[in-house]
Structure 1
Amino acid sequence: MMAQALPALGGIGLFLLGMKIMTDALREAAGPGLRRLLSRFTTTPLTGAASGALTTAVIQSSSATTVMTVGFVGAGLLSFSHALGVIYGANIGTTVTGWMVSLVGFKLKLGTLSMGLLFVAGLALLLSEGRIARIGRIVAGFCLLFIGLDMMQDGMGGAAEWLQPDRLPDGLTGAVVMAGLGLAITVAMQSSSAAVAVVLVLLGNDTLTLMQAAAAVIGMNVGTTFTALLAALGGSRAMQQTAVANLLFNLGTTVLAFPLLWGMSGGLHSIALRMGADTALVLFHTAFNLLGAAVFLPLTTAFSHAVERLLPEPAAHRPPALDPRLLSDEGSAMQAAHSVMSWAAKQLFAAYADALGPQRDLRALSALAPQLAPVLEDLKSYLARITVPRGKPTEAKAYAALMHQVDHLDRLLGQSAKRRFIPALHRHHVTARPAVWFATCLSSHKGLTLTQTGQRMARMAPIVDKRVHRHRRGLLLGEHVGLYSVQDTFDITDAMRWLLRIIHNVQRIGDYDAAVNQALGQAKPPAPDR
């Protein structure tokens, strides 16, 4: 028995390793495009489901899709209800692995051919880099997957001698037991794809009946949510909401799957006789996930509100969380960092708007440093932990732009301590007018994005600079003839320089924001310029 168990366990290990290598390589290769797909086309829960299914089918990992989705929710690129659609679609997309195992692994027996391909893939990894090496990793993972599948089949060939279908309970009790076993196997393996492959092998060896295997697959749908639940512990509220919604959705799908199983039992056995039991099982796996998505899609708004009531968002004055678990995907991590940067910029802009506007309310600007300094320090530490792989110039450009944005935010925060210049700016209409105009542009009531604010600064900065220089010459002449004291001249001149530096930093934040949005595929239709 041990001689059979060890090859079977080795086959499972090779399958898991192959899935890991292939998934990481596919995600690295397709990540930017898929992030753009999710951010641009997930405009409704239905399109979210389609995007989630396609993304998961491409990268062969529902967990990776969930991580990207959490990043978009945290960055404000996706509403929570639209993200739920992606979760529905991820469950559908993850069934592609079962179809691949059934149609390619069992029917074509690629294990032997994969040995030769693995040699070629190994050479590609050792002798090249960049795109060729990435393709080599994808092929290597693909080969290990099917070699492991062959080992599983050989190792579990004698399993029917000690595990027979009639030894397992029948009826509803048996289905619940098998669902529990499927859940436990998935939690232990941390991969529903590998767990489905094991069940397919046991089904092919006549160790399980079709109904028992179908019940186990139902349990696996719930088991796969535990990875997200563990990842959400201590994570951001968006991640916790997503993980809980994923669990509740899969529990609801399980409730729907059991009646569907009994209703389809006759049809499944007919399909098994004509096309094979493995095909019938994978078809059922796809069918109940499609049913779950079809039932939940019309209820998405109510479902999202229920989850949000269960796990309410923190107060609006708190910054978005920088979840360390998003660091596994540099694009999602930069999305999270960008959301915190945007939050901090809006706090700064609003405080400057209050202080430089007609009301001259300095309270928010005075309280800014203790509030934002720790946030910016955490943001810098988080950015330092993001690793952008070589050969990704677009992500590297976004990363550099984020670093520049944080640097200019730091400068703005430091300049907020020089509030003594504000009364000097309002002493004369020549300097008061650009200060009020600047405050109006930064006001939240204006509704400008960071990019649009930067564009406004770029257009108006030369005009303000020209007026300031003209007024500075007038001050010097006035001081010369005794109209202004030397101290007044210095105070107003320093205040005007301070305003120009602030305008410059705001402009650069907006310029780099446009670069981040373009590089990460976050571009949205701009709001009307007011």
Structure 2
Amino acid sequence: MNIFSICTLCGGLAFFLFGMHVMSQSLEKIAGGKLESTLKKMTSNPFKSLALGAGITIAVQSSSAMTVMLVGLVNSGIMQLEQTVGVIMGSNVGTTLTAWLLSTAGIKSDNILISMLKPENFAPIVALIGIIMIMMSKKKKRQDIGTIMVGFAVLMYGMELMKNAVSPLAEMEGFSKLLVAFKNPLLSVLFGAVFTGVIQSSAASVGILQALSLTGTISYRMAIPIIMGQNIGTCVTALLSSIGVNKNANRVTVVHMLFNIIGTVVCLAAFYGLNAVVHFSFVDKSIGAVEIAAVHSIFNIVTTLILLPFSSQLVKLAKKLIPDSKEAEESVLLDKRLIATPPLAVSQCREKTVEMAQGAKEALHEALRAIFDYSDKAVVKVEEKEQLLDEMEDQLSTFLLELSAVSLTDEDSRTVTELLHTISDFERISDHAINMIEIAQEMERNSRSFSDSAKADFSTLFAALTEISGITIKAFTDNDTDIAVNVEPLEEVIDDLTQTIRDKHIARLRKGECSPELGVYLSDLLINCERVSDHCSNIAVSIIQIAKSSMRSHVYLNELKAQRSEQFIGTYNSYREKYRLSA
């Protein structure tokens, strides 16, 4: 083995890691919102969590990525530590699929159909089909499938390069002497862990071991502890990602490490204990790529079967190793580690924006009730909601801007655009709620109240404002354009109501039935009501325009008001009749 073989080995590893990265990213895009809906199915049932962990890991082709995802979800408070244990175990089982795919490199047969299973034979065909799909298809989803195929072909080509690069090792006397050291199981475990930790990919380290096994110089005695060490080494990625997170998120990494370390100790003790008694005949025989994949699977499945009944004990042990601190930890709205999985990050951003929408609606309704039924408790509630929404708006806008810079599917990109346009409107609704309750507070302090006529008018206006906020939030939550189209006609009715109330107040002033000071309160209140309905209109227009893949809001509104369709006029008349002021 010369310098060129080493360069080929490095190049093969580079191709392998690049192919894995490309394939993983495209698989995440294809999975899209399914990742979110799948994670929502997490329950206390450990078997469901196990199956979901395996399924998601197969989808994203990386147990490390799965664990990093869990760290981010726990750090954001979206998932509890207890929910992650089964997922982590399932993730370790799911990652064994890669080893089985790589084991096809060792297939030897004169049969054409069987020979086509070898990477060197089928990878070029897969790559060609993938390139054709990328170049010829206009649909993003098909292009992503093509990218997955190209990534898979590159990965397999990298495996083939590594196999060819290490083949001369079988004839090197120095290499044979080096392998003697790996007859020490503890050294083998350490080597597997360190090597996997350095390249941060258990799939790649298993692939290299499978390539070495094709030289016929790797025995079961050497391979088994190395494979177990590789499982420990894959925790390094999660360990690095847990820097700077809260203690509960750190415990996710601890659970992952405990799973692999305990599994390694138990399985090694069982294997060498039985070997001392039974004397397995295969121990010193050479191991093949398929057998390595089998050992990898058996280790993870057996460890899962042993530790699954003790999930709660793993959580308790993790909490003992990382005890709670006396100081309260700062809460995180959305952990930036989630950006590594864009579809999941987009779904979580939408979830948080829906929380903002509900908070804005609750603050508004509380403020409207306080106008005629004032209480200090209501003031505190609205102020707390408004402060929370301010913080959420700041964090969400920063997170969304960072998220918009990464590669997103067309659908996710539209969602991010919609959220960036709507979060400020939700926050502003809560600001107007604060303004309204401050007016109520000042009127209470000065012992002022509106006339019965003004109260009746405001009751009608507030009912319309309650409805427009309700249908706007429902349209946004359900992403329903059919509901959203009803917002603009109601917004025009609210504009008409505010103008009529203003005109009636001026008439009362002329008759001396109302004081100028109350006129200031009335005017400020009407302005805030108008602004709330305007923000509802902005949100509804965003929902409709994003659905049409357009953001020309002013053009849409101008066309809507100019055309005055039958549906618009009918809805407008219906709302005008519903919210008619008394004479």
Measured against the shorter chain, the TM-score band is 0.7 to 0.9
Query: CA-to-partner distance for each residue in 1:268-326, whole Å, 9 max, x for gaps?
Result: 866998x9643333222212212332333333344335545736599999552443332
Aligned to 1:2: 2
CA contact (8 A) 2:465 2:533 kept: no
Cα deviation for residue 339 of structure 1 reads: 5.5
**2:519 aligns to what?**
489
Distance 2:302 2:509 in 1: 81
- How far apart are the structure 2 equivalents of 1:11 and 1:65? 25
Return the alpha-carbon distance in structure 2 between the equivalents of residues 20 and 268 of structure 1: 39
Give unpaired runs (5+ residues) of structure 1: 442-447, 517-530
Identity %: 22
1:399 corresponds to which residue? 416
Query: 1:330 touches 1:388 (CA, 8 Å); kept in 2?
Result: no
Q: Distance in 2 between matches of 1:249 and 1:512?
A: 47
In structure 2, the residue matched to 1:412 is 429
The CA distance in 1 between the partners of 2:290 and 2:18, in whole Å, is 24
After superposition, the Cα gap between the structure-2 partners of 1:304 and 1:346, relative to the gap in structure 1 and judged at 3 Å, is farther
Q: What's 2:560 paired with?
A: none
Question: 1:422 is matched with which residue: 440, 451, 464?
Answer: 440
| Structure 1 residues 110 and 317, CA gap change in structure 2 (3 angstroms) | closer
Contact 1:62 1:94 in 2 (8 A): yes
Aligned partners of 1:95 and 1:282 also within 8 Å: yes
Q: 1:298 aligned to 2:314? A: no
CA displacement, residues 236-279 of structure 1 (integer Å, 9 cap, x when unaligned): 66643433332232222222331343367579866998x96433
Q: Which protein shows a greater Rg? A: 2
Distance 1:95 1:40 in 2: 23
* Counterpart position of 2:264: 254
Give the TM-score normalised by structure 2.
0.71
Distance in 2 of aligned mates of 1:351 and 1:360: 14
The 5 Å alignment of 1:256-271 reads 256-262=266-272
> Do 1:32 and 1:331's aligned partners in 2 also have CA atoms closer than 8 Å?
yes
Equivalent residue in structure 1 for 2:332, among 320, 328, 349: 320
Instruction: Output one character per residue of 1:370-428: Cα deviation in whole Å (capped at 9) or x when no partner.
Output: 77646533432221121387883432342233223312133135425525322459935
Residues 433/117 of structure 1: CA separation in 2 closer, same or farther (3 Å cut): closer
Which residue number in structure 1 is paired with residue 190 of structure 2? 180
Q: Which residue of 2 aligns with 1:288?
A: 299
Amino acid at match of 2:120: G
Correspondence for 2:376: 360
Amino acid at match of 1:483: E
Contact in 1 for aligned 2:119/2:156 (Cα 8 Å): yes
Using structure 1 for the length normalisation, give the TM-score.
Answer: 0.78
* Pairing of 1:129-208 with structure 2 (within 5 A): 130-160=140-170, 161=172, 162-164=174-176, 167-169=179-181, 174-208=184-218
Q: Which moved more, 1:295-304 or 1:45-54?
A: 295-304
Q: 1:348 to 1:118 in 2, by over 3 A?
A: closer
Distance change (3 Å), C-alpha of 1:335 and 1:267:
farther
- Whichever residue aligns with residue 402 of structure 2, its letter is R
Matches within 5 A, 1:207-286: 207-235=217-245, 239-262=249-272, 277-286=288-297
- Cα displacement (A) at 1:215: 0.2
Please report how far the alpha carbon of residue 139 of structure 1 lies from its aligned counterpart in structure 2 after TM superposition.
1.9
Distance 1:294 1:366, change over 3 A: same
CA distance in 2, matches of 1:317, 1:510: 37
Q: For residues 228 and 58 of structure 1, do their structure 2 counterparts lie closer, same or farther at Cα, with a shift above 3 Å needed?
A: same
Contact 1:186 1:195 in 2 (8 A): yes
One-letter amino acid of the counterpart of residue 149, structure 2: V
Distance verdict in 2 for CA 1:408–1:318, change over 3 Å: farther
- The 8 Å contact of residues 430 and 471 in structure 1, kept in 2 or not, is answered as no
Match of 1:384, as an amino acid? L
Contact 1:11 1:147 in 2 (8 A): yes
Quote the Cα distance in structure 1 between the aligned partners of 2:212 and 2:256.
28
Q: Is the alpha carbon distance of 1:317 and 1:223 closer, same or farther for their aligned partners in structure 2, counting shifts above 3 Å? A: closer
Structure 2: distance between partners of 1:39 and 1:491: 47
Which residue among 349, 352, 364 is the counterpart of 1:337?
349
- Deviation, structure 1 residue 431: 7.6
Counterpart position of 1:525? none
